[in-house]
Chains A and B, each alone.
Chain A
């Protein structure tokens, strides 16, 4: 089966790459072979850390520029050509800042919280199929793994809010946790729609089943998956606390939510996690509904898959930024209304209708 070949070929390729480098350096025989698997895993983690960091660097700049132009101003202009070095300067500033831990915080939990929040946003990246060749681990329960790992962020956020010993932080954490837990339901249900259309839980398997042009993408598979895509996209915005659902860190009400007491490098980790999540939900939406690395027309398959993947993902990221600066923030009760009375019932209808469609029409 194609999928299993992909799995063996690409996981091993990643390990082989590390082994090749080790042999080249003349270090291969100094450690038992299994160690190179562990080292390959560490290299993979560092690689995705690098991807998230570079993405955040670019996305923050784009976000500031887009927001500027949406509001009829220019955005950053001073540092470099059209302010292109602005985020780099900000990053250097963040790294040089004093590491402040307020006296009244619960020290252990305060230090641990950003690590957990960032790790959950990093860990989902290992199963994403970036192209037909590049997947770090082709798990056969890929999408279930993504859903599972992203639930760990809730205790992390509560940990940050509680350990800060600050009422804004605690309110922000409670709101954030309530929001993420609620929106996990429409997210999970809309993912089920795509999984039912694919008949597979593996991320690469789902992409492989959408081959042969955009009419085979699961968003156009049947009317119910079409609706499910929009349910997923809206609910995932709420899950990563983006506008119009950024109630957990509403600046005018809660200072900065659960991150209020954080500064310097620890705050930078929360920020990186936020941008990592933005990228991750776009990748999930692209993989499940928009064909992943598949080209929209069979005639365009000469263009490499990763380029299609990159274009689709970055387009969804741009839509997220665009919506942030176009829509006003919702109230807490409106947020819960949308989740429980609009998105969840529609998602159930999508599962039911999608299932019927699979049985009766296909």
Chain B
């Protein structure tokens, strides 16, 4: 086994191990913090796939954004320490149907989709994607990009409107 494999295995174990902890942990805070390691491991796997831009964005959005939101939600919940989560399995049949359905859906998308594979820059040691991603966002995918940005702007203004002080 080469050193490369060992580093890959390290990230794979982090991702799957902490994902299992998220599902099976009885304390909700432990589950929330285990999610951080799982998301971090996924970012590590992206690096192995030469998707460095995606890896950085994964950390910014999932750990810096969604996980922090989730942690705030957990911390602001009343009587959080007295709750024990049940981790037994119920609704096995429906669960199996939903799980398999989702798996098939994702698999179909992976196989069918017309993936954009960036051109490798000759003489460079790994793919440099950020420039190509940026160029595509500004040409081919300009409309979805703009729609997403307007949606986020609306969400931002909406959030500010909701939290503004009423006494003015």
Given that A141-B53, A158-B71, A159-B33 are contacting pairs, would A151 and B7 also be in contact in the complex, using a CB cutoff of 8 Å? no
Whether B56 lies near A141 (C-beta < 8 A) is: yes
Chain B, residues 1-41, CB within 8 Å of chain A (1/0): the string is 01110110000000000000000000001100100100010
The CA-CA distance from A144 to B124 in the complex, in Å, is 20
**Contact in complex: B29, A139 (CB < 8 Å):** no
CB proximity to B under 8 Å, residues A74-120: 106, 108-109, 112
Whether the Cβ atoms of A151 and B56 lie closer than 8 Å is no
Contact B67 A34 (CB under 8 A): no
Given known A-B contacts A140-B128, A148-B64, A152-B63, A38 and B7 have beta carbons under 8 A apart: yes
**Interface check A220, CB cutoff 8 A:** no
Q: How far is the CB of B123 from chain A (nearest CB, A)?
A: 7
Kindly state the separation between the CA atoms of A145 and B55 in the bound complex, as whole angstroms. 9
Please tell me which one of the listed residues A38, A141, A170 contacts residue B130 in the complex, with CB atoms under 8 A apart: A141
Asked whether, in the complex, the Cβ of B33 is within 8 Å of the Cβ of A34, the reply is: no
Q: Are A145 and B56 in contact (CB under 8 A)?
A: yes
- Cβ of A37 within 8 Å of any chain B Cβ, yes or no, is yes
Write out the residue numbers on chain B whose beta carbons fall within 8 Å of the beta carbon of A295: none
Q: Which of A35, A38, A145, A155 has most B Cβ within 10 Å?
A: A155
- Residues in B neighbouring A8, C-beta threshold 8 A: 125
* A51 and B138 alpha carbons, distance in the complex (Å): 41
Q: A34-B4, A148-B57 are in contact. Are A154 and B33 (CB under 8 A)?
A: no
The answer, yes or no, to whether A323 is at the interface (CB within 8 Å) is no
Q: How far apart sit A35 and B124, CA to CA, in the bound complex (Å)?
A: 22
* Minimum distance in angstroms from B153 CB to a CB of chain A: 11
Which size bracket describes the interface of A in this complex? 20 to 34
> Nearest chain B CB to A116's CB is how many angstroms away?
8
Cα distance, A148 to B47, chains bound together (Å): 14
**Cβ-based interface call for A4 (8 A):** yes
A109–B53 touching, CB < 8 Å:
no
Q: A249: CB under 8 A from chain B?
A: no
Is A26 positioned at the interface, with any CB of B under 8 Å from its CB? Answer: no
Min CB–CB distance B4 → chain A (angstroms): 6
The 8 Å CB contact of B64, one of A4, A151, A162, A340, is A151
Interface string of A163-203 (1 = CB under 8 A from B): 00000001000100100010010000000000000000100
Provide the bound-state CA to CA distance between A256 and B128, in Å: 44
Please give, as numbers and ranges, the residues of chain B lying within 8 Å of A108 by CB-CB distance: 30
Evaluate contact between A155 and B71: CB separation under 8 angstroms.
Answer: yes
Assess the A155–B67 pair: CB atoms within 8 A. yes
Question: Counting chain B CB atoms within 10 Å of each CB, which of A37, A149, A158 scores highest?
Answer: A158
Contact B60 A106 (CB under 8 A): no
Cβ contact within 8 Å between B64 and A154: yes
* Residue from the list B56, B67, B123 in contact with A144, Cβ < 8 A: B56
Q: Kindly list chain A residues whose C-beta atoms are within 8 Å of the C-beta of B3.
A: 32, 34-35, 37-38
Q: In the assembled complex, which residues on chain A have CB atoms less than 8 Å from the CB atom of B57?
A: 144, 148
CB distance from A18 to the nearest CB of B (A): 13
Chain B residues near A7 (CB-CB < 8 A): 125
- CB-CB under 8 A from A35, the residues of chain B are 3
* Per-position binary interface string of chain B over residues 128-139, scored 1 when its CB falls under 8 Å from any chain A CB and 0 otherwise: 101000000000
B75 & A155 in contact (Cβ 8 Å cutoff):
no
Residues on B with C-beta less than 8 A from A158 are: 68, 71, 75
Most buried by A among B2, B3, B55, B130: B3
**Residues of B with C-beta under 8 A to A21:** none
Shortest beta-carbon distance from A113 to chain B in Å: 9
Contact B60 A148 (CB under 8 A): yes
Q: Complex formed: what's the CA distance from A4 to B7 in Å?
A: 25
Q: Check A140–B130 contact: CB distance below 8 A.
A: yes
Within 8 Å by CB of B59, from A112, A149, A201, lies A149
Chain A nearest CB from B14 CB (Å) reads: 13
A31 → B minimal CB distance (Å)? 9
- Which residue on B lies nearest to A174, using beta carbons? B75
* A140 and B52 form a contact (CB under 8 A): yes
Cα-based distance from A159 to B75 in the complex (angstroms): 11
- C-alpha spacing A158/B73, complex, angstroms: 12
Q: Considering the chains assembled together, what is the distance between the CA atoms of A4 and B126 in angstroms?
A: 11
Given the complex of chains A and B, what is the CA–CA distance between A184 and B55 in angstroms? 19
Assess whether A4 is in contact with B123, with CB atoms less than 8 Å apart: yes
Give residues in A with beta carbon < 8 Å to B: 4, 7-8, 32, 34-35, 37-38, 106, 108-109, 112, 139-141, 144-145, 147-149, 151-152, 154-155, 158-159, 162, 170, 174, 177, 181, 184, 201, 340
Question: What are 5 A-B pairs at a CB distance below 8 A?
Answer: A34-B4, A38-B3, A149-B59, A152-B64, A177-B72
